[in-house]
Structure 1
Amino acid sequence: MTNDSPKPDDDAVRARVIEAADRLYYAYGVQAIGMDTLRTEAGVSLKRLYRLFPSKESILEQVLLHRHDMWNGLVERAIEGGEPRERLLAIYDMLARWFDEDDFRGCVFINCFGELGTTTPRVAEIVRTHKAGFQARLAELVAEAGGPQSLAPQLAILAEGAQTTAAIAGTNDAARQARQAAEVLIDAALGPATGTAQTRTSTTVTTARPAFRSRR
């Protein structure tokens, strides 16, 4: 086995690097964290770090993929059960819980786009794909509720704006306000909730991952 050959624990080390990068990038920003800081946090040599990840961009891509999966999991757990109208509103209840977490620093995708979106096309592509996936999931829920297609992007804008506002304000008020605005939009599109409205059968569709180029 040469020094450049894969090692049995490469997958575990790779996961450790991604976890450390996710934590550091989210807390301090991508550009503030150098590879030396990252390798110290992850407990891996600089040589091995560059063998596993040839560039900082390749690490960031994997961090964003990890966050994409985390977000989809949160959304799916939040909307389990209930009528379509309640499932749509559950998104904002999920946001309120997230905003209350001590380490909340806003949306990592919005943060990364603000830092690197204009200079790193891959970051912009990944962020846009992720956001489009969330809106598509909302569109599925809106369709199940019998609502118009125009409702999904309106609800998505409320959720996206709430994330940015909460990060700046440092409270979860934006989630409550976004939920109230969402109720107005949903009532206008579907009619006020009566508790007896018939709804379509819910079918969960997993949002596709952004397409990531292999760096291995």
Structure 2
Amino acid sequence: MTNDTIEHEHIVRVADQLFYERGIHAVGMDAIRTAASVPLKRLYAEFASKDALLAEVLHYRSGIWDAGIATAAAAATTPRDKLLAIYDFLDEWFRAEDFRGCGFINAFGEMSAVSPAVVEIARGQKERFQRYVSALVDELGAPPALADQLAILAEGAQTTAAISGSPNAAAHARAAASTLIDAALSSRAAS
């Protein structure tokens, strides 16, 4: 890994932290330059604009989400357990001191009116998560509609935990997911 790559990644991590803590509109490139300890000229050499940096931040955040879900699912052996592991991952994340909700929902809420790129990246991340859940539901042998229901529970839990300040939304969503999975499988077996 080159020094340029390390510096590039450092800037992305710093910008991610600042955007997540303070909001995108509240953080200018000068604040990122200061926090990352890089000259402004170097910052703009890496990222032509704040929008370009934000796009990189959202891609970085997507990797964090994917890795967290994969780690939680790694210990699970069945599709049902892998689906429920999503909510275990959420529970751990909601308990983090710096939890401020879903970065994609936050960015979409803040920037969707002015940044088609943010809309595209946020929707893409949500679609990839939906496909992940759908694949597990298919592997489980449950009706496809279950995937939409489980994904909505996960998305709703993120918003609820952020607004309420309570991590309990993950446990409630997990319990609801378990009930939905069992009902879907019972319904499938009865038909």
Q: TM over 0.5: same fold?
A: yes
Offset at residue 191 of structure 1 (A): 2.6
SS of 1:151's equivalent? helix
Offset at residue 142 of structure 1 (A): 0.5
* In the alignment, structure 1 residue 64 sits paired with structure 2 residue 50: no
Report how many residues are paired: 185
* Aligned-residue CA RMSD (Å): 1.2
- 1:139-172 C-alpha deviation (Å, 9 max, x unpaired): 0110111011111011000000000000011111
The residue type equivalent to 2:16 in the other structure is: D
Higher helix share: 2
* In the alignment, structure 1 residue 135 sits paired with structure 2 residue 130: yes
Q: List runs of 5+ in structure 1 lacking aligned partners.
A: 1-7, 193-216
Which of 118, 124, 130 is equivalent to 1:123? 118
Q: Work out which of the two has the higher radius of gyration on C-alpha atoms and give 1 or 2.
A: 1
Q: Which residue of 2 aligns with 1:108?
A: 103
Offset at residue 95 of structure 1 (A): 0.6
The residue type equivalent to 2:129 in the other structure is: F
The residue type equivalent to 1:74 in the other structure is: G
Q: Which residue of 1 aligns with 2:173?
A: 178
SS of 1:122's equivalent? helix
Structure 1-normalised TM-score? Answer: 0.83
Offset at residue 11 of structure 1 (A): 1.6
% identical aligned pairs: 50
Q: Which residue of 1 aligns with 2:68?
A: 74
Offset at residue 16 of structure 1 (A): 1.3
Structure 2-normalised TM-score? Answer: 0.94
Q: Which ranges of 4 or more aligned residues in structure 1 deviate by more than 4 Å? A: none
Please give the alpha-carbon distance, in whole angstroms, between the structure 2 residues aligned to 1:37 and 1:185: 46
The residue type equivalent to 1:31 in the other structure is: H
Identify which of structures 1 and 2 has the higher relative contact order when contacts are C-alpha pairs closer than 8 Å and 6+ apart: 1
Equivalences for 1:86-105 in 2 at 5 Å? 86-105=81-100
The residue type equivalent to 1:153 in the other structure is: D
SS of 2:67's equivalent? helix
Offset at residue 71 of structure 1 (A): 0.6
